[in-house]
């Protein structure tokens, strides 16, 4: 098997909303490389070795700017200024109601049409391992209160980790804020299989209930006896509801003390021998088996013409509590002048022993 070709930066040169787009390549000197475009701060390729030392791509994505624009807007993106769904595209903060743009039925998802996944970030590559990005959120572009500067860093480390650090600084006003990386992972390689043969465990002490539109209601549900209890490793293709593969698009409350990185989830794939650990400072992990991927009106064509199909990738998205602005019983994360919001997520790739 040949190694995957690195993405060609020339195919990402263009303009979106009158801002220049490009592609950046990060390397750690141990065979790991990561490709990021400044459109949506999207991670489009992650190359790491398998058990035989053979490099392989473990991230779904696109290989040119036109495909990024035509494809799934969340593919590989960094989500903000509020991850997940906000019910009825509105919330009240400090006695003032804020109306957002609905982009998921009646609801606002992933920051709405003005969210960061649709924006071109300014970017500077500090060295071969590190990329710094910046985006300013303003009320006139996304409807959320307050002006917010997002400083984002992608870094590859010697242990084959992709580290994503963010700092949100309020320029003026108070804002709600929840950011999340939204990579689609397949440890066997994009286009070869679904993730049904992946083993997944989640370090959680509960799951958040959701309504028929998958909007969080504010209720916490015990995992004892729950059909989607992932505290011990389970095969994603194993029997779930109605003897079908596990269909997951749920917010798990991460177990353990806050204040530092916690192990959120562990994934392994027997054929390639690859593993991935997800560590984060964030309190919630959204687990999504991508059952809606590729179900749009047009084919979703990824790198090398691979057709993205349902369950082709697994999303593990550390974030704050979804719909917390409308759920008084959930912790609400806000940012105000002098009170920034920082977070860190680490995707560490390894091998089964």
* Burial class, 260, CB count within 10 angstroms (exposed 0-12 / middle 13-18 / buried 19+): exposed
Q: 206-210, 213-217, 255-259 — which is least confidently predicted?
A: 255-259
| Residue pLDDT, tens place only, 63-112 | 999 999 999 999 999 999 999 999 999 999 999 999 999 999 999 999 99
**CA distance linking residue 19 with residue 16, whole number of Å:** 5
Whether residue 323 is contained in a domain is answered as yes
Whether residue 277 is contained in a domain is answered as yes
Contact status, residue 106 vs residue 134, Cβ threshold 8 Å: no
| Residue pLDDT, tens place only, 216-254 | 999 999 999 999 999 999 999 986 656 678 999 999 999
Over the chain, what is the mean pLDDT?
95
| Residue pLDDT, tens place only, 42-60 | 999 999 999 999 999 999 9
Whether residue 4 is contained in a domain is answered as no
| Residue pLDDT, tens place only, 250-269 | 999 999 877 799 999 999 99
pLDDT attached to residue 243 = 63
| Residue pLDDT, tens place only, 103-131 | 999 999 999 999 999 999 999 999 999 99
**308 — pLDDT class (breaks 50, 70, 90):** very high
Look up the domain containing 101 and give its range. Answer: 9-351
* Burial class, 285, CB count within 10 angstroms (exposed 0-12 / middle 13-18 / buried 19+): buried
Radius of gyration of the chain (CA): 19
CATH code of the domain covering residue 151: 2.70.98.10
Whether residue 208 is contained in a domain is answered as yes
Contact status, residue 85 vs residue 215, Cβ threshold 8 Å: yes
Whether residue 298 is contained in a domain is answered as yes
Whether residue 255 is contained in a domain is answered as yes
Structural domain count of the chain:
1
Record the pTM.
Answer: 0.97
Percentage of the residues of the chain whose pLDDT score is greater than 70: 98
Burial annotation 11-35 (CB, 10 A radius, 16+ → b, else e): ebebebeeeebbbbebebeeebbbb
Whether residue 2 is contained in a domain is answered as no
Contact status, residue 80 vs residue 111, Cβ threshold 8 Å: yes
- Chain position carrying tokens 């680490």: 346
**CA distance linking residue 16 with residue 267, whole number of Å:** 35
pLDDT attached to residue 258 = 73
Residue 312 reports pLDDT greater than 90: yes
Whether residue 36 is contained in a domain is answered as yes
**190 — pLDDT class (breaks 50, 70, 90):** confident
């Amino acid at each position: 098997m040949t190694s995957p070709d690195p993405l060609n930066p020339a195919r990402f040169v263009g303009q979106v909303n009158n801002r220049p787009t490009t592609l950046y390549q990060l390397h750690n000197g141990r065979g790991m490389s990561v490709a990021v475009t400044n459109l949506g701060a999207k991670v489009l390729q992650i190359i790491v070795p398998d058990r035989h030392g053979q490099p392989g791509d473990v991230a779904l994505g696109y290989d040119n700017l036109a495909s990024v624009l035509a494809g799934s807007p969340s593919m590989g993106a960094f989500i903000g200024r509020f991850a997940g769904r906000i019910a009825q595209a509105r919330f009240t903060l400090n006695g003032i109601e804020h109306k957002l743009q609905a982009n998921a039925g009646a609801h606002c998802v992933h920051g709405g049409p003005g969210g960061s996944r649709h924006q071109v970030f300014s970017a500077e590559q500090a060295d071969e391992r590190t990329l710094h990005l910046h985006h300013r959120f303003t009320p006139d572009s996304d409807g959320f209160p307050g002006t917010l500067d997002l400083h984002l860093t992608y870094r590859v480390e010697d242990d084959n980790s992709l580290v994503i650090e963010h700092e949100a600084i309020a320029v003026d006003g108070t804002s709600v804020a929840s950011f999340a990386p939204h990579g689609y992972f397949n440890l066997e390689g994009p286009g070869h299989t679904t993730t049904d043969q992946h083993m997944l465990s989640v370090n959680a002490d509960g799951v958040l209930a959701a309504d028929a539109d998958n909007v969080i209601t504010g209720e916490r549900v015990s995992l004892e006896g729950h059909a989607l209890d992932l505290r011990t490793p389970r095969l994603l293709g194993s029997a779930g509801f109605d003897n079908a593969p596990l269909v997951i698009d749920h917010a798990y409350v991460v177990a353990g003390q806050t204040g530092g990185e916690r192990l959120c989830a562990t994934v392994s794939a027997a054929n390639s021998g690859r593993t991935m650990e997800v560590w984060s400072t964030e309190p919630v992990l959204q687990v999504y088996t991508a059952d809606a991927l590729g179900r749009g009106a047009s084919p979703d064509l990824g790198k090398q013409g691979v057709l993205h199909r349902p369950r082709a990738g697994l999303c593990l998205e550390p974030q704050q509590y979804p719909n917390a602005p409308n759920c008084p019983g959930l912790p609400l994360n806000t940012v105000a002048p002098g009170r920034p919001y920082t977070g860190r997520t680490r995707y560490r790739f390894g091998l089964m022993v």
